[in-house]
Structure 1
């Protein structure tokens, strides 16, 4: 080992958070660099992978200014990144076109045709669904967000690119290859491509499922666990980053597993909530779980293939940002003071980009209910805040039926939205659970750093290192009994409105 520090980079949709972490899991320096996202009609949502690498090089350059001896002290570099993207790369790892990110849903019609047929249940042909559930513990989402849908779209619309493609990979896979020249993928990316056999002891690519999607097995990267040592930096990558070529690079993980590590909730059945652009409720379980009606399941995590329950919702911070800007201008912030809730505040469904769970329907759209002439911009922003909280309450009401999940006690909240005290308190009241706020905007980056714990000698495993983070909350919110009761009444009213709204989009 050449040094005592780890460089951890968490690549999100809007930017990368990069930090330098020591053996006590203290962040000695951190930088956030943004990069563009191209949105277009028809569900286009693309990014240039070179922009991710550019953000990383700028961030590391700034970190070297903050820690002048970083080149000598950085022993390990590790990445986490957004899931469900598709990069078509050539033999050298060069991206042949922009990455279709998780937000890109151009393949929704194609994947619905693939999974459909008679007889069907919940939009899936029964025989196909049974095969996917048995092998992968899930099936491609109807909204087109998964890599399977994107591969179908590429076959239909850009077959010349598919012919030139050597590797079908996700965002983190490209980054690790850019750093090391070695191609790998994570269990999470493989599982959510719906081409992986996720049965315990049989984890690996499924020839049967890959054939259905139309992905040759030789174009799928080897699946490795998150703390696997891949290689050291290539001379080119080391020069661009200003780091030693002896810096070791780990396989890394997904944003969902990084957030789980950052929350510190490592025991089976313990839940955490990540609240950022989107939101999810997650927690580790001892075996696979699945709900077809409510569109959630466990995914095979990079932590020794351990099942991680994920109930993901499409709109959270994005809906709050939207409400702030359209009601109060471009400089408004979701954390601005909104005043006390009023009994006749409007209701809000935050489905501005469709929904994933507990209803998987890309056609759903955001809606205000019960607006009156006396309601102002502040009331609408309060409604948005409550709407996101009650949407998570809706999700929690479905997953809480699972055996082995903790039904009481505190829930850790991470992600950028956790920095909003009003949001944290609203969640405590909506869920009637204590909310512990740990690292907010940098939980994923800190959780990613724990993957280096064994390599660095900091702990016996990433999970052991991550457990230490649970004892370091920054804030604690307890439910207000009056607001708990008031929100229960409003949630019952919203449930009726929600059902009517869903019917209007599915009729």
Structure 2
């Protein structure tokens, strides 16, 4: 057990890092946000410089120290949560060999389809390959190329010198832990989503058989550690960068999905929560592995005790709302979304329909070729109608995924469902989603769930709780708002959803034909 009465917890997203100082009651005493760039380009290019994450962390900690001058002395641990499915090619000296291919990078899509394809096939997967992956890993690489597996192969084909010099392939959090401690590790979620990990109970670890199927050498993958373990301490150099004491314990850390799950407080089996940020996901812990191949979701092995965590992830949520604001002449940051949608008027029957597939989709249809659609535009439609359509379209897209997840055995369907993430702080969206799902929504520490979830990892180490789960469960009481479905609006959304289902099916067929011709 270590000393200190504060945890410094950092949640690294796609556009920036949220860093907080959290006390033993898992209350944020101070928090700051530092941004960093995302390099987007044609063909699905989406990269970030790992050094940008590190120096954003350093700036954030300096600002926290301005608010809490004795923070370095009071800090008991440093804990990271981060975006997942990034690929950092790390050399023998721990330095990145090239920018990170973020989760959003789709350049490897053709390789992803080739990796899993072949005859005979089902849902685009060669049956023999699919059965082996499902049995060992409880899933298979996505056809859209966004999982690390295809990205590894893209590096191997397009940048063979980088591939040869790569000592470790690491996810975002993994590189940050390496930079902080000098120790190369990963955790189970990141390992699972390489689809090179055996996730069967009692056999958790890298799988030589899956490595042979993909041609990825296992010696390029780091040791798998538990996210709730202290995996090292701050090196002298890292401590100097961050303005913290050398020797500060560093947790193994978690992905953003597990950080949000812990931060939501929904840690009982079958209790779902919804995270709405740049992307969106429906998630919850289960007592055993779950899999739905047609709807493209499954449980992954979480970083805390290998506990299965169901994730039904959608590519477009806050990003689609930001796009709608930008296209209608407004600001485009998540921080302004609440005001951007506050004065758009009441929904009308002839509002356009919106399919928010601006970056493809994953659940319940895994297809990187899907694209956004505004259907039914009229001459009198303007910014208010388009913004209303965006709010509704994202909410009904989540309902589409929720309709599949809700059928899982053991899902808790009664009572409020928790919502976290930056967009959860938008009252208009929260009410629309409650209406769409016909369920009350409980909004907790909406923007801070990732930070609080990462902080919960350190609670047992600091003597604040017996387990991570006990600490996280306390967060369920931190409710800031509750939204009850409006019966009239819910009925109207049911009718709109029925029409949208027809539009959706036709759009999917259209994009499928376009790809076939190209």
**Same fold (TM > 0.5):** yes
Task: Tell me the CA shift for residue 114 of structure 1.
Answer: 1.4
Distance 1:12 1:331 in 2: 16
Contact 1:151/1:213 (CA < 8 Å) preserved in 2? Answer: no
2:222 maps to 221
1:334 maps to 337
Distance 1:76 1:148 in 2: 32
Distance 1:334 1:488 in 2: 25
Give the TM-score, by structure 2 length. 0.97
- Alignment of structure 1 residues 119-134 onto 2, 5 Å: 119-134=120-135
Contact 2:19/2:451 (CA < 8 Å) preserved in 1? Answer: yes
Task: Tell me the CA shift for residue 65 of structure 1.
Answer: 1.0
2:261 maps to 260
- 2:457 pairs, out of 433, 448, 451, with 451
Distance 1:497 1:470 in 2: 38
Does structure 1 residue 422 correspond to structure 2 residue 423?
A: no
1:52 maps to 53
Task: Tell me the CA shift for residue 376 of structure 1.
Answer: 1.7
Contact 2:230/2:251 (CA < 8 Å) preserved in 1? Answer: yes
Q: How many residues align?
A: 507
Contact 1:10/1:16 (CA < 8 Å) preserved in 2? Answer: yes
Contact 1:6/1:77 (CA < 8 Å) preserved in 2? Answer: yes
Task: Tell me the CA shift for residue 328 of structure 1.
Answer: 2.5
- Alignment of structure 1 residues 81-96 onto 2, 5 Å: 81-96=82-97
2:516 maps to none
Structure 1 runs (4+) deviating above 3 angstroms are: 329-334
- Alignment of structure 1 residues 129-140 onto 2, 5 Å: 129-140=130-141
| Root mean square deviation, CA, Å | 1.0
1:144 maps to 145
Distance 2:385 2:461 in 1: 51
1:358 maps to 364
Contact 1:347/1:387 (CA < 8 Å) preserved in 2? Answer: yes
Contact 2:438/2:485 (CA < 8 Å) preserved in 1? Answer: yes
Q: Secondary structure at the match of 1:334?
A: helix
Task: Tell me the CA shift for residue 484 of structure 1.
Answer: 0.9
**For each residue in 1:360-385, what CA deviation from the matched residue of structure 2 results, as whole angstroms up to 9, or x when unmatched?**
01010110111111222101100000
Distance 1:124 1:365 in 2: 22
Task: Tell me the CA shift for residue 465 of structure 1.
Answer: 0.5
2:70 maps to 69
2:273 maps to 272
1:371 maps to 377
**For each residue in 1:251-285, what CA deviation from the matched residue of structure 2 results, as whole angstroms up to 9, or x when unmatched?**
00100000000100000000000000000000001
Q: 1:250 to 1:499 in 2, by over 3 A?
A: same
Contact 2:4/2:462 (CA < 8 Å) preserved in 1? Answer: no
Task: Tell me the CA shift for residue 303 of structure 1.
Answer: 1.6
Distance 1:31 1:360 in 2: 35
Does structure 1 residue 105 correspond to structure 2 residue 111?
A: no
Q: Structure 2 unaligned runs (5+)?
A: 514-518
1:383 maps to 389
Task: Tell me the CA shift for residue 410 of structure 1.
Answer: 0.7
Contact 1:2/1:72 (CA < 8 Å) preserved in 2? Answer: no
Q: Secondary structure at the match of 1:280?
A: strand
Q: Secondary structure at the match of 1:329?
A: coil
**For each residue in 1:379-429, what CA deviation from the matched residue of structure 2 results, as whole angstroms up to 9, or x when unmatched?**
110000000000000001111111000122110000000010000000000
Distance 2:149 2:23 in 1: 39
- Alignment of structure 1 residues 455-494 onto 2, 5 Å: 455-494=461-500
Distance 2:81 2:504 in 1: 35
Task: Tell me the CA shift for residue 88 of structure 1.
Answer: 0.8
Does structure 1 residue 189 correspond to structure 2 residue 200?
A: no
Distance 2:406 2:448 in 1: 27
Distance 1:219 1:444 in 2: 29
Q: Secondary structure at the match of 1:24?
A: coil
Distance 1:484 1:426 in 2: 8
Give the TM-score, by structure 1 length. 0.99
